[in-house]
C-alpha cells in the first residue's frame, strides 16, 4: 500500500515537472514576443516625422473639369503626358496623343515648355495649374500650380 502511494506521488511529480517545463517554454516564448513588441515600439518612436506633400497641382480642362495631382509623383514630361492621357481618355485623348495642347502657369501667366529640363519647368512652389485643350494647335493649354 505504501509502495503504491509512493509510485502515485512520483507519477504526479513527473506530470507536474512536465507541466512546469511547458510553462517555462511558454513563458520564454512570451518574453520573446514582449521584447519584439518593445523593439517595434522603439523603432516607431525613432522614425523621423514624415515630410508632408506639397499642395497638389490642379489641372483645369477646357470643359471646366478639375484634376488635382501631386507633382512629387510626376518626374518627367512623359509622366505628365501619361497622366493627361488617362485623364482625357474619354474626351480629348486624340489631342493629348497628337500634342495638340498647351500648358500655362496661371499664377505667373506664362507658357510651360515641357521640352525643357523637367526640374527647370516644374520646381516645387505652391500654385494652381490649368490645362486646356483647343482645336487650334497654336492655342495654349493653361496650367497653374
Q: Which residue is associated with the grid cell 522603439?
A: 42
Domain 57-133, CATH number (from 3.40.47.10, 3.10.20.90, 3.50.50.60, 3.40.50.300)? 3.10.20.90
Phi and psi angles of residue 123, each rounded to the nearest 5 degrees, phi first: -110, 155
State pLDDT tens for residues 119-129. Answer: 777 654 444 45
Phi and psi angles of residue 128, each rounded to the nearest 5 degrees, phi first: -130, 140
DSSP secondary structure, 36-56, as one string = HHHHHHHHHHHSPPPPPPPPP
Q: Write down the pLDDT at residue 87.
A: 84
CB 117 within 8 A of CB 80: no
pTM confidence score: 0.47
**CA trace torsion 40, 46, 48, 49 (10° rounding):** 70
Q: What contacts 11, CB < 8 A, 6 or more positions away?
A: none
Give yes or no for residue 140 having a pLDDT over 90.
Answer: no
Q: Write down the pLDDT at residue 126.
A: 44
State pLDDT tens for residues 22-73. Answer: 999 999 999 999 999 998 888 777 765 555 567 777 787 777 888 887 877 8
Amino acid at each position: 500500500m505504501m509502495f503504491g502511494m509512493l509510485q502515485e506521488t512520483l507519477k504526479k511529480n513527473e506530470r507536474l515537472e512536465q507541466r512546469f517545463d511547458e510553462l517555462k517554454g511558454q513563458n520564454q516564448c512570451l518574453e520573446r514576443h514582449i521584447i519584439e513588441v518593445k523593439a517595434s515600439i522603439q523603432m516607431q518612436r525613432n522614425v523621423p516625422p514624415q515630410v508632408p506633400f506639397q499642395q497638389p497641382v490642379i489641372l483645369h480642362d477646357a470643359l471646366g473639369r478639375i484634376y488635382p495631382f501631386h507633382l512629387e509623383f510626376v518626374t518627367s514630361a512623359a509622366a505628365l503626358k501619361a497622366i493627361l492621357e488617362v485623364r482625357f481618355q474619354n474626351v480629348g485623348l486624340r489631342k493629348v496623343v497628337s500634342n495638340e495642347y498647351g500648358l500655362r502657369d496661371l499664377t505667373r501667366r506664362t507658357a510651360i515648355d515641357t521640352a525643357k529640363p523637367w526640374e527647370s519647368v516644374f520646381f516645387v512652389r505652391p500654385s494652381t495649374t490649368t490645362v486646356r485643350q483647343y482645336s487650334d494647335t497654336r492655342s495654349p493649354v493653361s496650367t497653374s500650380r
